[in-house]
Amino acid sequence: MTQVQDMTDQQLNNEISHMMMKSLGWKLVREDGPWIRPNGSYSTGRFRNYCTDHAASLEVQAAAIEKNSNEFVIALDRIINPNQQQHEFTEDEIAALLTASPRERAMAAYQVLKAHTASASG
């Protein structure tokens, strides 16, 4: 399995898009699309760019926080501060979390959503 840090932006965007669409009740017709909405209509829309678009990364961040806010903060901290294991944050460390890049937020959100997608289907 590919580690999230090793994924290209396109791979990460595709994986997150699939999880987000499925969470909305959409179904994939075939591997390369299109998607069927719960109302039966089709969508061939392009995936959002969670790795570079600030608004899209905040959208997936909100979805991950809704699943488990604590897991999201821990995942984001591990991405931003990979060599530190901590339970309390300094003001500078909190600032680093708040100013995370879209890709960092997307990686942390992916980890949380992936864990909750696996537990929901397993």
Task: Write down the mean pLDDT value for the chain.
Answer: 85
- Strands, E assignment, the chain: 27-28, 35-36, 42-43
* Arithmetic mean of pLDDT, 37-55: 81
Tokens of residue 108, six digits:
């942390």
Per-residue pLDDT at 82 exceeds 90: no
Whether the Cβ atoms of residue 113 and residue 16 lie closer than 8 Å to each other = yes
Confidence of residue 93 (pLDDT cuts 50, 70, 90): confident
Q: Residue 28's pLDDT is what?
A: 75
